[in-house]
Chains A and B, each alone.
Chain A
Amino acid sequence: MTATPTTHATAPTTSATAADPAVNATAALALGDDALVLSHRLGEWAGHAPVLEEEVALANIALDLLGQARVLLSLVGDEDELAFLREERSFRNLQLVEQPNGDFACTIARQFYFSVHQHLLYRQLAAGDGPFAGLAGKAVKEVAYHQDHAEHWIVRLGDGTAESHERMQRACDALWRFTGEMFQPVDGLEVDPMALEALWLERVTEVLERATLTVPSGARTGAWAAGAGRQGLHTESFGRMLAEMQHLHRSHPGASW
């Protein structure tokens, strides 16, 4: 596995938007791409949710994440150039957030794993005095809701019917291997990944047990899952996601929307 350079060079910065020199572009892109890609996946649910309240809730989470993504990407360059004109290999998001929606249990498991992590991370960033403190301070309240929403569903589905229990367990198991990547160090993020991971495991274990689910036991640091997304190595479905997302923008070079 070859890591591509994780510096400013990976992102087009030709736009007029001045990048903040205090901001580490690697870190901003990592966090921004996580939010952008997960928001996109959640947006795919529109019109397909199992109940009307979830149409509202999933859109709400998608909108929060999109708002975060726009702030983060704008720290690095022009948000639309970064979102619509980068190739797959230049995206720095976790593989977890690009995983297809699957059934509602898969979407909830993905959200749960990510939101618990994002909440812990943003709480730490908000408490510090680094370049992300302001953004994280605002976002942490949104993320607390995302986590709460996901945890309620983990518990309801885990402890609901036999079918929902089975689906929830399967979803938690299937996405488990993508969770190790969240705790790989990211250049420019002043947090202790190991401490973060311990807190994450503690919370995840607590909620899964409350949901009468079994904490998955598989590997979380396989060759392709551990740190790969952060280095621009993604899973196959991500290319198709980008093709759809970028098609219209790329079809009209230089146009304003």
Chain B
Amino acid sequence: MTVVTADAYEAAFDAAVAADERIEPRDWMPEAYRASLVRQMAQHAHSEIIGMQPEANWITRAPSLRRKAILMAKVQDEAGHGLYLYSAAETLGTGRDELLDKLHTGRQKYSSIFNYPTLTWADVGAIGWLVDGAAITNQVPLCRCSYGPYARAMVRICKEESFHQRQGYELLLTLSRGTPEQHAMAQDAVDRWWWPSLMMFGPPDDASAHSAQSMAWKIKRHSNDELRQRFVDICVPQAQSLGLTLPDPDLRWNEERGHHDFGAIDWAEFQDVLKGNGPCNEQRINQRRRAHEEGAWVRDAAAAYADKHQAALHTESVEATA
């Protein structure tokens, strides 16, 4: 009889990661790898469903039926992304109810960007262009993440996100080329969303708690600062085409580096919002909790109905075979 030791499992896991093979749900994996993935996927799923709120804020006020349809479809996609991601997390043995409970009790986080308010219609465009743009920059490398179900979910999500990003850009372009009031509305939104979008890549590399281990496990492929720089370089020419200004006097092309230099990010603000002091932290989590609590009777009824009818089906099949 061959005894497979824990060391042998670990060696097989390490070899698979080194060879860029996918780890699948039934494969052995280190507990810390599992925990790290659950944390990251849950945070991602939570961000999708909390992220519905600032945009849903404008569904009932969308200024044309075409824009209303686009926005509703986008918010619906986000609910769909939440579903894929909770399902992907479930393959690691943690169910949606448990993860939602952690969200509702503040034990798991969602992206801090959604703690900023959507004050005008142009914010819908700025979120599409900048926030979805930053998310895509972060997420495209996740399509090659070492954990199979997460990587596959991300392929689908990234396709939809890039569609949203183009829609946001097009919305801003329409405003920028519209009336002076519309142009000002677009500029104001970009002024407010630019810096928080840069913060979406997380703290600088030397201050990032989970980065090194995630890189070694190939959950993460590029550092926070690398991705942030890539995003800035993409946005600068796009802002020019939009006819809008990015609110950073230090933003300029650096010939030597082959990248744009940009100003210092206010990490004190980032930490403050993360701690719960952003403009909408309480509002977002309260709405989520309220929806969950007010929906409890619906979920209970569905479960009760399913139980009753499963029992009935069981009785029928027993009678049929008797």
Bound complex: CA A44 to CA B73 (Å)? 13
Number of interface residues of A (CB under 8 A): 49
* B-chain residues with CB within 8 Å of residue A62 when the two chains form the complex: 72
Are B61 and A245 closer than 8 Å at their CB atoms? yes
**B5 lies within 8 A of chain A by Cβ:** no
Q: Which of A211-239 contact B (CB under 8 A)?
A: none
Task: Decide if the interface of chain A is mainly helix, strand, loop or mixed.
Answer: helix
Bound complex: CA A247 to CA B63 (Å)? 8
Q: Which of B24-65 contact A (CB under 8 A)?
A: 49, 52-53, 56, 59-65
Are B72 and A156 closer than 8 Å at their CB atoms? no
Number of interface residues of B (CB under 8 A): 47
**B208 lies within 8 A of chain A by Cβ:** no
* A-chain residues with CB within 8 Å of residue B66 when the two chains form the complex: 70, 257
With A63-B72, A257-B174 as given contacts, are A49 and B291 in contact (CB-CB < 8 Å)?
A: yes
* B-chain residues with CB within 8 Å of residue A161 when the two chains form the complex: 297, 300-301, 304
**B274 lies within 8 A of chain A by Cβ:** no
Are B53 and A156 closer than 8 Å at their CB atoms? no
Are B79 and A50 closer than 8 Å at their CB atoms? no
**A53 lies within 8 A of chain B by Cβ:** yes
Closest to B175 in A: A257
Task: Decide if the interface of chain B is mainly helix, strand, loop or mixed.
Answer: helix
B298 touches which one: A50, A66, A79, A159 (CB < 8 A)?
A50
Bound complex: CA A155 to CA B304 (Å)? 12
Bound complex: CA A59 to CA B68 (Å)? 12
Q: Which of A63-96 contact B (CB under 8 A)?
A: 63, 66-67, 69-70, 73, 79-80, 83-84
Closest beta carbon of chain B to A161's beta carbon, Å: 5
Bound complex: CA A247 to CA B292 (Å)? 30
With A43-B60, A52-B49, A52-B79 as given contacts, are A252 and B182 in contact (CB-CB < 8 Å)?
A: yes
Are B298 and A104 closer than 8 Å at their CB atoms? yes
Which residues of A does B touch, CB under 8 Å?
36, 40, 43-44, 46-56, 59-60, 62-63, 66-67, 69-70, 73, 79-80, 83-84, 103-104, 155-157, 159-161, 163-164, 167, 244-245, 247-249, 252, 254-257
10 residue pairs, one from A and one from B, having the closest CB atoms:
A50-B295, A160-B301, A164-B301, A59-B76, A46-B56, A55-B79, A50-B298, A47-B56, A257-B64, A156-B305
